[in-house]
Amino acid sequence: MKYYEPLAVHVKPEEDGMTVRKVLERNLGVSRKLLSRLKLTDEGITVNGCRVYTSSRVKQGDCIELRMEQERSDDILPEAIPLDIVYEDRDLLILNKPPGIVVHPTHGHYTGTLANGVVHHWQQRGELVRFRPIHRLDQDTSGLLAIAKNPYIHQQLSEQMHAGDVYKSYLAYVYNAPVDVKGTVDAPIDRDPDSPHVRTVLASGYPSVTHYETAAIYRGGEAAKVKLKLETGRTHQIRVHMKHIGCPLIGDGLYGYAGNPADGGSQELEAAVSRQALHAAVLGMTHPISRKWLEWEAPLPEDLRKLEAMLKATNE
């Protein structure tokens, strides 16, 4: 059995006499679910090299080590797909996802996904790693995506996401400038009763909060560039909330004007971009191992740069 590099904790004076579980929770925030899983392997939890129970008590100076079994995604076929790797270490992979690619294999998308490319990348590096995205991006949304490389990192970053401690900032190009330059859309979202694959604002829906700030206004208010930050992470949240306040995303075939442009100007914009004009521009989080804050920024992809240039030209 092969293991990832162990996580080690040295027992401090004030932790003398505590249980293994308590010391690990204090120092690493390891979940009970993960501890239960590690207990099933021979070298999953050791103190000074010897296998122990999580209820065992430790002394000052003892070295507790966690060893997670190496895994791989056997259900994902490796494919040589180009990847824009922004950051990678033994624990974490940050990608700049291009538009038009699905993140994870689903019904109808078993190959050609980002996951297929990542699994191939790890295979070429000789790494046994299971594909564990921390969050998702829609197929036609571009930008930064975080992927954990072991169960502990996935647990820690998922908790950061749930607590709102992961910073995610998006850029969107929309029809109409928001009435308020800066504001918050607090409107519950759920599936549309008439179209289950579509989300909509419903009083009985799940709490959903999006903060926005207008970065630029074009064509006398007919279009705008908007910065957005999510407080919650519902499916299609930005797209639904911007439509809700009368500012649907340019190029959005599901929630925008695509297929039925309002006028000649919008026809021109719809032709300029073949997907919703949405980009995950900034991503920040505390690295679970180093405990340092890390932040990345992804430049606008070519199609959105062209769209922005077209919009700017109308202001000149």
Query: Catalytic site residues?
Result: 138
Instruction: Kindly tell me the burial class for residue 259, based on how many C-beta atoms sit within 10 Å of its own C-beta (0-12, 13-18, 19 or more).
Output: exposed
Chain mean position to CA 151 = 16
- Phi/psi for 114 (5° steps) reads -60, -40
Structure tokens at 89: 């270490």
Would you say 228 and 169 are in contact if contact means Cβ atoms under 8 Å apart?
yes
Residue given tokens 């922004």 in the structure block:
86
What 3-state DSSP class applies to 213?
Answer: strand
What's the CA dihedral at 66, 72, 74, 80 to 10 degrees?
170
Rounded-to-integer distance, Cα 112 and Cα 78, Å: 9
Handedness of CA 216, 220, 221, 223 (dihedral sign): negative
Contact 65, 7 (CB under 8 A): yes
Tokens of 237: 């949240």
Q: Minimal CA–CA distance to 252: which of 111, 140, 97, 100?
A: 140
**What tokens appear for 278 in the block?**
């949405």
Max Cα–Cα distance, the chain, nearest Å: 75
Buried/exposed 277-316: b ≥16 CB within 10 Å, e otherwise: bbbbbbbebebbeeeeeeebebebbebbeebbebbeeeee
User: How is residue 95 written in tokens?
Assistant: 């990608």
